Structure formats: C-alpha cells, structure tokens
Amino acid sequence: MVIRSPACPQPEDPLSYLFGLQRFGIKLGLGNMRALTASLAHPERHFRSVLIAGTNGKGSVAAMVERGLRAAGYSTGLYTSPHLIDLSERFALDGRAVDDAALLKEAEQLRTTIERLRASGRLAHPPTFFEATTALALSLFRRREIDIAVLEVGMGGRFDATNVVHPQAVGIPSIDLDHQQHLGATLAEIAFEKAGVIKPHTVVVSAEEKAEARDVLLRAAAARGARFIDAGAEVDARWRIDAGVTRIEKLRTPRASYGPLRFALRGRHQLRNAAVAVRLLEELSPVGGPSTRAAIEEALASVRWRGRLEWVDCAAGRRILVDPAHNVAAAAALGAYVTEICPAGLPFVFGTLSDKDGAGMLAALGNAVSRIICSPIANPRGRPVRDLAAAARSARPDVPVEFAASPVAALASAWRTGPLAVVAGSMYLVGEVLHEFDRGRLGTRAGLERE
C-alpha cells in the first residue's frame, strides 16, 4: 500500500491527519516531544537506543547497525526518514516495515493523544509531521517490546525530535553544509547542533575529518563526559572495487579484524560509514549488542539501503543508478563513484528542492556528468525545471542541459543516447522514480514510449 499525502484528506483517516501536520513545517525545539512522550508514558524508556546523527551517511550507518544487532539475535526497531515511497518504510521491526494495520492503529492512538494535549493547552504549538512520526515510532517500538532501537536523527540534533531519548551510543559519521537556514552557515555551527545529541557518559563514534567540525564534536564529548572514538583514525581497511562492487579484503579495528567479504553498499564513502557502524557495534557489546565477528560481517555483507547508489534494471537492457545526493558533499561522493566505473560520464536526470544548492551539486559531480536533464519533483518545495535548467547551464556550460515534463520523460530522454542513466538531486525525486519502477512504468518499453 502506497501511503502518500492524499489529494483529498478525510478527517477520519489517521494517516491523512498525520500528513496534514506537514503544513506546520519545521519547528525546532523539544517542548512538544517532551509533552507527547510524557502523555504516552515515556515509551523511549522501555528499550535501549542508538542515535545516528550527522549530515551524510547517517541512514547507511543506521541500517548497518540495525542489521548487525539483528544478526546477533536482538529484536530491533529502526526509525529513518524521509521515506521514499511508503510511510511505513520509516518504521522497521526486525528488518521489516511495519504492517499497515499496526501503522493505522498506532496513528489513530497518536491522533487521540495529540488532540487531548492540544485541548488542554499542553502543546506549545501543533506538532510537526516529524515530531508525530517520531512519537509514533517510539510508541510502536515499545508495543512490540523490542530490545534496542536505532534512530536516525532528522535535522540537526540539539532540538531534533529524536533527542528525547537517552542513547547508549551515538554515531556521527560526517558533518557537511546542509540546511544552513536552520542550523547555521558554518561547519562549526552545524557541528554544534549535531553534537546536541551527545549525552553524558555515552560513547560517540565519528569519522569526521574536517578540523572545524571535528573539534566541536570533541569539545562537546569532553564537556559531557562522553567517550569519543575516531573511527576514521582507528579503523584500517584494505579494499578494492571490482565492476562497481566494493570488496573488503580486511577491515581492522582495535578489537578485531573482519573480511574478506563482499560489501553490500557501493561507493568509497561507504567505507567510512562502515567504520563508524563497526565501531558502534563493537562498543554496544557490553550493553547487549553483538560481540561476535560473524554478526558484524553479516551486517556488512547483507545490509540493504534502498535508493542509495542502487542500480535498477529497467526495460530492454536499460539501467538507472539512483542516489539522492542532495547536497554538495553527497554529490561529490556520487560523482566519484560514477567516474570510477564510467570515466566518460553518464546522463543525469536531476531535480532538487528550491532551498538546495543545485548549481553547487552539479559542479561537484564533475566529470561524472555527460548530459543533464532537469526534472520536476512532485513536492511543493520542488525547484521549477526551467529555473533549474538555467542554473545548470550556468554551473555546467561544458555539458548539454535540457528539461522534461516528468521524471519518466526525463529518463526516456536520457536513454536515447545509451542504456545507462543516473537519477539524483533529491530523495523525493529518487522516491518518485522508484515508485514508477514498482508500478511497472519503467519495466516496459511501452511505459517509456508513452512519454
């Protein structure tokens, strides 16, 4: 069941009610979450938790940590955002998205709680969509009596809705420029917000190398008596890329060595994320996490993180590589991967939100781009394609730029010069394309030719 924001919301539908909260936008602060969790009898206190914050890589790290915990035999909850297609993707129980019936039941109970709090004046403002989904995740995980939850922080950290939990470990894989209008204009300011999830006497694992951001994380950990682990310095990996597949020959930490194995995620940057995930899993072993080499190796070899450097086989031998690459640093990582496997570059179907640095992202892709087809995004914040195309021509005068009426039409254009194309620039664009693929629109020649 695809659960998207309905065209005609019905008041009696609890999911429509949740999506209706999107109109309240982003409001940073923990007052609402504290009121919600108190009214729900503090579900976050009924299981252990791990918080994964940062700019890029946090979803991948969260997925690897959850997979390792599950491989070790623990009952897990995984909360990530945003979803690509279906709201249920945000809430995984033991590796499976929550079923529709459980999601509807939890959403209805949450709506009742929210309305009661609003009527009593105990909410400073209506909850945001992210606050509501975070409260829903915590309540759902308690109801299922999980052992440990892995929670991906949304934006920032200090005032993020997930920061009502007291985690036993925190991962911060990287800090880069993103969401500057909310988090600050510099790496140091952004790092300060991200470091807000560090709690007293926890362990913090990071692979951030930039001194401006790393120093902020180190100071925050020291001030709170938290132990800081520099996974980038502690973990040594020998690896190779063979036909686009990363093979880890050996990954060595202060505690153990892992490999050889076929790493399930693609791209050099994922090795840094793997280092963070492995050190987190090792550190969790005293509090119930995996302590065996086999569980960690299984996590690295079998983790799945849809829509991130994922190859999708479509009609007539055509393939697309999908990756959000929704900021400059992420675009640079995508560009490095594409250039490594296809030095001549590939056509890019590209779309962004209006508040993103589209020109900077296109520049960061470098030689990975042979042609740009700008695509609209079915999101109120999507950047108009003509405006995006003008920015693209300015940023990349070295490659042809065009625009299309839809993502499917953009792909049809991209495939006119060869069987491979890349879709990037926004999680929402990737979600739309994968949704079209799941519906069969990209799996048949007729579906493409209709465009």
Please indicate, yes or no, whether residues 86 and 195 belong to a single structural domain of this protein.
yes
Residues 43, 140: Cα–Cα separation, whole Å:
8
pLDDT at residue 2, as a whole number? 41
Would residue 2 count as lying in a domain? no
The CATH number covering residue 149 comes to: 3.40.1190.10
Please indicate, yes or no, whether residues 53 and 142 belong to a single structural domain of this protein.
yes
The whole-number average pLDDT for the span 191-201 is 97
Number of H helices, E strands in the chain: 17, 18
End-to-end CA distance of the chain: 25
In the listed set 245, 273, 302, which residue is the last one of a domain according to the structure? 302
Lowest mean pLDDT among 26-35, 160-169, 341-350, 439-448: 439-448
Question: Which tokens go with 364?
Answer: 């960061």
How many domains is the chain built from? 2
Please indicate, yes or no, whether residues 253 and 322 belong to a single structural domain of this protein.
no
Residues 148, 51: Cα–Cα separation, whole Å:
11
In the listed set 281, 302, 323, which residue is the last one of a domain according to the structure? 302
pLDDT at residue 12, as a whole number? 60
Q: Which domain holds residue 167?
A: 14-302
Helix (H, G, I), strand (E, B) or coil at 364: helix
pLDDT at residue 10, as a whole number? 47
Per the CB < 8 A criterion, the answer to whether 181 and 356 are in contact is no
Would residue 135 count as lying in a domain? yes
User: CA dist 332 to 33, 79, 231, 396, Å?
Assistant: 35, 27, 21, 15
Question: Which tokens go with 5?
Answer: 């924001």
Would residue 6 count as lying in a domain? no
Angle at 7 between CA 4 and CA 11, to 5 degrees: 90
Q: What is the pLDDT of residues 80-113, one digit of tens each?
A: 999 999 999 999 999 999 999 999 999 999 999 9
Beta carbons within 8 Å of 120's beta carbon, 6+ residues apart: none
Question: Which tokens go with 335?
Answer: 């560009």
Please indicate, yes or no, whether residues 274 and 399 belong to a single structural domain of this protein.
no
Would residue 322 count as lying in a domain? yes
Per the DSSP assignment, residues forming a β-bridge with 382 are 353
Would residue 155 count as lying in a domain? yes
Beta carbons within 8 Å of 38's beta carbon, 6+ residues apart: none
Q: What is the pLDDT of residues 356-371, one digit of tens each?
A: 999 999 999 999 999 9
Q: What is the pLDDT of residues 125-149, one digit of tens each?
A: 899 999 999 999 999 999 999 999 9
The DSSP symbol for 255 reads S
Per the CB < 8 A criterion, the answer to whether 339 and 446 are in contact is no
Would residue 159 count as lying in a domain? yes
pLDDT at residue 441, as a whole number? 80
Please indicate, yes or no, whether residues 108 and 157 belong to a single structural domain of this protein.
yes
